[in-house]
């Protein structure tokens, strides 16, 4: 597994950390928002640093932008010994990581995640890629970075709604493998009212869950599927809302509530979990707004089912820190749970 470091003030040490690995120059891939908000923190200290920047947002995670970046790297006369630093949220990590994985058949890649989601989720596990008009993340690779460096101080400029988004994955990690983390989420004030110590502890604990799972199952053949908690219905809701009505974190929050309800109906739950209150506390939705149609959700679930030999598969909570993968959940039960989310 690649080194993963969380340390306040780490940004300022990046040039030195790279020099220790024998690198004198680097290319930084970032988006305009992150560049404006955070670039000042570590630009000094490089022998040569070239910046490749795009606009922010999921719509930028395209092959067109990858191609444009290849052109930039060629113009900058990047060779196989030139490291790429991906400095941003998950969009930059996925797109920039994909470019680093493929240009000259692979450049040394370093992750410097700046959103909460990227810190605890997308920077870990080596998945890189881009979206196609036909669907999200359809083109990509497993390409682990040499290291991931997290400076929790950069969260000071993260927009509030992005904090909520990331919290959905943090709460998910608590439910999957750490009752202590789930308890911490239950008590923590909403983002951004966190001290530097709180930010650091939360990121460390939440990242630890994914780091351990990925170390045991790097190619997603087994237990890594647990990380899909809340994502089966979550993805279907995102699709049914045309990717505009719900953010990913909001969809995952609702997906986790659905998983909780399915677990209750399947008598898997030890006792009801304080999930709803925890999601509300962190600005995440606990019911579906009007206008979501079951037929569209069902169609999206059917795509999932096709991939899984005709069986709907859900990760369901048992108690904080323990989940189970359940295959063959009846569609009718999912519909009932969906309707409950609409009515609640
Ligand atoms: N590779 C994986 O394993 C994996 C896992 C989960 C998600 N993802 C991908 O991650 C992407 C979502 O990532 P995201 O939620 O970070 O979105 P994002 O990269 O779009 O970042 C969200 C917004 O926050 C801004 N931002 C980020 N850090 C900031 C900071 N410190 N200060 C100010 N602004 C900041 C960005 O400019 C952007 O506008 C999706 O494309 C998803 O597919 C990948
Ligand atoms: Zn997710």
> What values do phi and psi take at 293, rounded to 5?
-105, 130
Best of 100, 116, 117, 226 for a ligand 1 pocket test (most atoms within 8 Å of beta carbon): 117
Give domain 160-343's CATH architecture: Up-down Bundle (1.20)
Q: Which residues contact 16 (CB under 8 A, 6 or more apart)?
A: 45
Q: Is 156 a pocket residue for ligand 1 (Cβ < 6 Å)?
A: no
Residue spans per domain, the chain: 4-157, 160-343
Res 288: pLDDT? 97
Asked if residue 136 has pLDDT above 80, the reply is yes
pLDDT reading at 215 higher than 90: yes
Q: How far apart are CA 201 and CA 216, in angstroms?
A: 23
Substitution candidate for ligand 1 out of 111, 124, 162, 211 with most atoms within 8 A of CB: 162
pLDDT interval class at 311 (50, 70, 90): confident
pLDDT at residue number 303: 84
> What pLDDT digit, counting tens, does each position of 248-272 carry?
999 999 999 999 999 999 999 989 9
Single pTM value for the model: 0.97
Residues 256, 279 contacting (CB under 8 angstroms): yes
Contact 20, 79 (CB under 8 A): no
Residues carrying an active site annotation:
105, 127, 169, 210, 220, 224, 228, 231, 235, 248
Pairing of strands 127-132, 135-142: antiparallel
Nearest residue (by CA) to ligand 1, atom 39, is 56
pLDDT surpassing 80 at residue 75 = yes
Whole-Å CA distances, 299 to 31, 74, 216, 296: 34, 43, 33, 5
Residue 307 has pLDDT above 80, yes or no: no
| Closest to 225 in 3D by CA, of 93, 331, 313, 321 | 313
Q: Domain 4-157 is of which CATH architecture? A: 3-Layer(aba) Sandwich (3.40)
């Amino acid at each position: 597994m690649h080194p993963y470091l969380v340390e306040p003030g780490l940004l300022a040490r990046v040039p030195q950390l790279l020099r220790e690995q024998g690198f004198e120059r680097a290319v930084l891939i970032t988006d305009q928002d992150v560049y404006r908000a955070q670039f000042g923190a570590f630009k000094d200290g490089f022998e040569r640093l070239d910046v490749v920047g795009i606009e922010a947002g999921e719509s930028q995670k395209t092959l067109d932008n990858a191609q444009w970046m290849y052109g930039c790297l060629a113009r900058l006369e990047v060779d196989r010994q030139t490291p790429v630093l991906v400095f941003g949220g998950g969009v930059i990590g996925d797109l920039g990581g994909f470019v680093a994985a493929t240009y000259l058949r692979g450049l040394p890649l370093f992750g410097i995640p700046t959103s909460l989601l990227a810190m605890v989720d997308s920077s870990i596990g080596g998945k890189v890629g881009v979206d196609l008009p036909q669907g999200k993340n359809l083109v990509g690779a497993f390409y682990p970075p040499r290291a991931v460096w997290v400076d929790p101080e950069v969260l000071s400029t993260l927009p509030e709604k992005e904090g909520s988004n990331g919290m959905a994955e943090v709460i998910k990690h608590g439910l999957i493998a750490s009752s202590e983390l789930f308890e911490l989420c239950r008590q923590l004030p909403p983002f951004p009212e966190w001290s530097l110590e709180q930010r650091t502890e939360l990121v460390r604990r939440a990242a630890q869950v994914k780091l351990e799972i990925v170390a045991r199952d790097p190619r997603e053949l087994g237990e890594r599927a647990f990380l899909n908690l809340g994502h089966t219905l979550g993805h279907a809701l995102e699709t049914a809302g045309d990717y505009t009505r719900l953010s990913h974190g909001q969809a995952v929050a609702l997906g986790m509530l659905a998983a909780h309800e399915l677990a209750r109906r399947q008598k898997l739950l030890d006792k009801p979990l304080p999930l709803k209150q925890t999601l509300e506390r962190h600005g995440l939705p606990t019911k579906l707004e009007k206008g979501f149609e079951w037929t569209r959700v069902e169609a999206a679930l059917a795509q999932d089912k096709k991939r899984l030999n005709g069986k709907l598969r859900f990760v369901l909570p048992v108690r904080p820190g323990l989940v189970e993968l359940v295959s063959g959940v009846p569609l009718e039960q999912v519909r009932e749970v969906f309707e409950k989310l609409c009515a609640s």
